[in-house]
Amino acid sequence: MQGDDREARRKLERLRAELAKGERDLAAGRVVVIETDEELQMFFEGLENGSSFDERAARFRARTAERRHTPAEELQREGRDER
């Protein structure tokens, strides 16, 4: 039973550390948008492997390079037009 408690504490400490790192990334403007289950799985695998944000972001950009997206500037203009 004591081993289970240690394992739970270890997982909780890791979760807290990852959340703190995520908050720092958000504050610095580094954000990854995850839209599919596959992307979510790859994101968590990256966390388990200890890859950095920049490495994960580069892989994400490579996987989504062929997808059509709307630039933020257009979305902002559309939002202004609706007002």
CA distance 18 to 75: 31
For 24-46, the pLDDT digits (tens) are 877 777 777 788 888 888 877 77
Average pLDDT of the residues in 56-70: 80
Q: Which band of pLDDT confidence, cut at 50, 70 and 90, is reported for residue 82?
A: low
Residues near 46 by beta carbon (within 8 Å), at least 6 away in sequence: 55, 56, 59
- Look at residue 50 in the predicted model and tell me its pLDDT: 65
Listed residue (43, 38, 67) closest to 55, CA to CA: 43
Average pLDDT of the residues in 71-75: 76
Average pLDDT of the residues in 45-72: 76
